[in-house]
Amino acid sequence: MENLLKLCLFLLCFETGFPVQCVKCNSYKNGKCAGSQQTCTTRAGEMCMIRRTWYASEINKLLHAETTCMGSCKIEEKTSGYLTIHTYCCDFTDFCNDIGFPIVMT
């Protein structure tokens, strides 16, 4: 009976996932949070998200970035005119959406 209880608890944790801490900042300037940098903790169905925007011809010149916890996050890259917007979602470790992590291209 005890083993059955342990199995049920394990499956419950596996089903709900493990929360992770994420960086939360509305806007970055020169690689640093322009406002107050905070953290958020993911809830069931959420992931850490970072969205970066740069000129399509200059990947090293970041124009804007934002980080937060987000439900229904989707990894994608869009180019519209002269801008590229790259959204990356993760939940493998705390602060995986830190702006210092390299860009993972899709």
Residue 78 pLDDT more than 70? Answer: yes
Taking residue 100's Cβ as centre, other Cβ atoms within 10 Å add up to: 7
Least confident of 38-52, 54-68, 75-89: 54-68
Fold of 19-106: CD59 (2.10.60)
pLDDT value of residue 90: 96
Residues 6+ away with beta carbon under 8 Å from 15: none
Please tell me the predicted confidence (pLDDT) of residue 62.
87
Q: Please report which confidence band the pLDDT of residue 2 belongs to, taking 50, 70 and 90 as the band edges.
A: low
Q: Which residues of 25-54 are buried (b: 16+ CB within 10 A; e: fewer)?
A: beebeeeebeeeeeebebeeebbbbbbbeb
Count of CB atoms situated within 10 Å of the CB of 55: 14
